[in-house]
Amino acid sequence: MTSTSRIAIVGAGPGGLVCARILQNHGIGVTVLEREVGPAARSQGGTLDIQAPTGQVALRVAGLFDQFLALSRPEGQEVRMMDRNAAMVRHFIPDPKDTAAPEIDRGQLRALLMDSLIPGTVRWNHCVETTTALPDGAVRLDFTNGSSELFDLVVGADGAWSRVRPALTHAEPAYSGVTFVEIHFDHIDHRHPDLAQLIGQGTLTAKAGRLSLIAQRNSNAHVRVYIAFRGPLDWNTGLDPDDTEALRARLLKMYQGWDESLLAMIRLNEGPYINRPIFVLPIPQTWQRVPGITLLGDAAHLMPPAGVGANLALLDGAELAQAVIDHPTIEDALAAYEAVMLARSLSEAQRTAEMLAVLMPDTDSTEPLFPTIRGT
């Protein structure tokens, strides 16, 4: 592996970018291919808790840990858990010096990683259509614009609907039975002080049976709320996705009987309701080695949103880069990387599936069920 190596990372998310950063730190050439037209093409999502045993390990290897800490919000580790009557069930207040899992906006983390790369590393507006392993060991990427390019190593870091994964496995994401409907509030401290006080500095989760409300504070007084429930994929059949009032009425009917302080999150939302059904990959997720191709993050092990996805992607990216650095051939590196990554992802996939079953049971019970959190 040299500065002229033909390595392609498909997808400019945290896992792919940290992998590219570590490779470049060791003089190894890499190209990141991203289908978006530019870094500001869309919102990068909400807040992430970057955990000491996983995501933080990757940022330390990448030499970016101090910059991460400067951007992170330790106070965002606060956790409030309530029942549907807004009665506090558990409350964790972190120590101001607690760095076990400080929060950072996904967009801030992506910008930190992007800015650490050699200019021109990310090639925007490159959407992969197919990935093909060739008999000579090379890998061909065909793009939707009709062009093609050959590489010695292709890393699929392109998320749930990966265009690299089909080269390794026929597995496809399946609906988990749980849907999140996303809403947001800007300048919440001034515009909605009662909600701001209810939510606190971190994450508020209120639940009863198959229904939950999850509110997360981001930076700059921005809050994202996820109206989460177990139900059919077509729960909104017959409604216009752009008809905010009709969607609000249906959601309020679903949450009938909840405390008005919690229902205010549904009543006062700013902007549209964004439907986000949760998909997962089958367990176990594995494949037979294909020369020159591997996966990381959600492309390799799509799981329920239980606070591990971005952290595992970061750790995958760091470990893959280190394997390429440490081994004499690409195949040696991929064999070593996948042996560790696939075993870890199996364990985490089983754990998060069990957690989802507890947090979002298929029951109408109003008793709130929460996993144990540190400090409670």
Report domain extents, the chain. 7-76+103-172+282-359, 174-279
Strands (E), 2-60: 7-10, 31-33, 47-49
Does the pLDDT value for residue 373 go beyond 90? no
Residue 254: what pLDDT? Answer: 96
Q: For residue 201, what are its two tokens?
A: 């500095």
Contact 205, 212 (CB under 8 A): yes
Q: For residue 91, what are its two tokens?
A: 């409350």
Long-range contacts of 132-140 (CB under 8 A, 24+ apart): 132/167, 133/167, 133/290, 133/291, 133/292, 133/293, 137/291, 137/292, 138/6, 138/292, 139/8, 139/167, 139/291, 139/292, 139/293
Tell me: the pLDDT tens digits for 1-20? 666 789 999 999 999 999 99
Determine how many CB atoms are found less than 10 A away from the CB of residue 70: 8
CATH code at 7-76+103-172+282-359: 3.50.50.60
Tell me: the pLDDT tens digits for 107-123? 999 999 999 999 999 99
Residue 365: what pLDDT? Answer: 57
Does the pLDDT value for residue 221 go beyond 70? yes
Residue 173 vs residues 234, 281, 292, 299, 344: alpha-carbon distances, Å: 17, 5, 23, 10, 19
* CATH number, domain 174-279, options 3.40.50.450, 3.30.9.30, 3.90.1150.10, 3.30.565.10: 3.30.9.30
Tell me: the pLDDT tens digits for 260-290? 999 999 999 988 999 999 999 999 999 999 9
What does pTM read for this prediction? Answer: 0.94
Please return the burial class of 199, using the count of CB atoms within 10 Å of its CB with bins 0-12, 13-18 and 19+. buried
Alpha carbon distance 361, 228 (integer Å): 12
